[in-house]
Amino acid sequence: MSWLPVELVLALRYLRPKRTFVSVITLIAVVGVALGVMVLIVVIAVMTGFGEQLRERLLGFNPHLTITAADINLQDYPSVLRVATNQPGVVGAAPLVEGPVLLERPGDRGSMVLTPLVRGIDTRAGSEASPMVNLIRLGTNDLRGKGILVGWELARRLDVQPGDIVNILPPGVAQQMLAQARRQADGQSDEAFLPIEFVVRGIFDAGYYEYNVAYVLTSLSNAQDLYNLDDAVHGVTVTLANPMEADAIRVPLARALGSGYRVTTWKEDKGEILEAVAVEKNVMFIVLFFVMIVAAFGITSTQITFVVQKTREIGVLKALGCTRAQVSWLFLSQSIFVGVVGVVTGCGLGILAVRYRNEFLEFMRRTTGLELFPASIYGFGQLPARIEVMDVAMICGSALVICLLAGLLPAWNAGRLQPVEALRHE
């Protein structure tokens, strides 16, 4: 290594493992930097993947734009569909009926009643306007007659399969039943109300727990009958080529429709969820960045120990003509070397941990029985993650800067030592 500057040669020689206390604390400093970088990469990758998959699920199941009337229901929706589909950037539009219902699964040992949301979709609008019809996991998406599609988790709770019969009680009938119950209490009525029978044609999987457990899909005509809407609908959904342009397309669309309509974007309806994930990502980065600062204190303590141990050598080097900058660079290069080794190791371990994250979670579940990432809480069956090059570069770059700053003070103290004082050091 004769081609290297003498201070770098000495720095590498000082860093050779010698089974001493200094070697141990140097190893601890490297491990601290590596763990800090690894944890940051894993957490930021998971938060990035979580946000992207959440946005993908939201945009795959929810409309990008929703048009509603100023009054309760939308009467002349075909004209609204024509205006919406003529707008640039719009790939499809469809009428929408959505609201809560009572759903009963009859059985020999009693019935189970849940209150999901029913969504009426127009299958004639095509998959661009109604992409949820392509999410079938079991059965078919045939909604002719009294057919419905049930979410995966909802089907599990109801213990239903394609071909089973369920009963749906519309809100209007429920209100009539309450009124009839009051009249029966007064002895004025004995009228009975029967629920409507539907056939489970398929089970869909939206990839998000909330939608799989809270929604059933049926045809537009069935949903209109459930809500006594006749030819009216609750609104019109609009699918865009680029959902990120929802705000830009909403303005001309609202202008074309006129003042009698209201246009909302997916960001207004579900955007707060993504904003919360983004805030959590930033907070996690700031909090975990302090792990790097703690590791930097390890580097500082290592360099201070080095300077104390090598004080006489520093005096000899200065007596031989080494400048203050050369002595400072000798110890500063040690900090840089420790930082580079720690950052590279942590980066490799972080990428490896992200790659095998779900295998690790499955191993923990089998061996300990702990569900570290329950779908009922987070909404996903597997832990999502996405490694962004810019995120990794920012983490590794900031870690190297912290390591460099950690070694500045000890290196500066080493450089300012006077030869006579250093040689007299005991």
Residues 6+ apart with CB under 8 A from 334: 11, 14, 15, 302, 303, 306, 407
Spell 329-344 as b/e; 16+ CB within 10 A means b.
Answer: bbbbbbbbbbbbbbbe
Give residue 11's Cα distance to chain centre.
44
SS3 call for 241: coil
pLDDT of residue 377: 60
- Taking CA atoms, 406 is separated from 35, 120, 124, 167, 333, in Å, by 17, 62, 66, 69, 11
What would the DSSP string read from start to end of 271-310? HHHHHHHHHHHHHHHHHHHHHHHHHHHHHHHHHHHHHHHT
Helix (H) or strand (E) holding 95: strand 90-100
Q: What percent of the chain is predicted at pLDDT more than 90?
A: 4
User: What is the C-alpha end-to-end distance of the chain, expressed in Å?
Assistant: 32
SS3 call for 369: coil
- Taking the C-alpha atoms of residue 237 and residue 174, their distance in angstroms, rounded to an integer, is 27
Tens digits of residue pLDDT in 149-193: 998 888 888 888 898 888 888 776 655 655 555 555 555 555 555
Question: Which residue shows structure tokens 């005509």?
Answer: 221
What is the average per-residue pLDDT within 320-329? 72
Query: What phi, psi does 394 have (nearest 5°)?
Result: -65, -40
Answer whether residue 301 shows pLDDT above 70.
yes
What is the average per-residue pLDDT within 369-392? 75
- Taking the C-alpha atoms of residue 245 and residue 248, their distance in angstroms, rounded to an integer, is 5
Answer whether residue 348 shows pLDDT above 90.
yes
Q: How confident is the model at residue 419 (pLDDT cuts 50, 70, 90)?
A: low
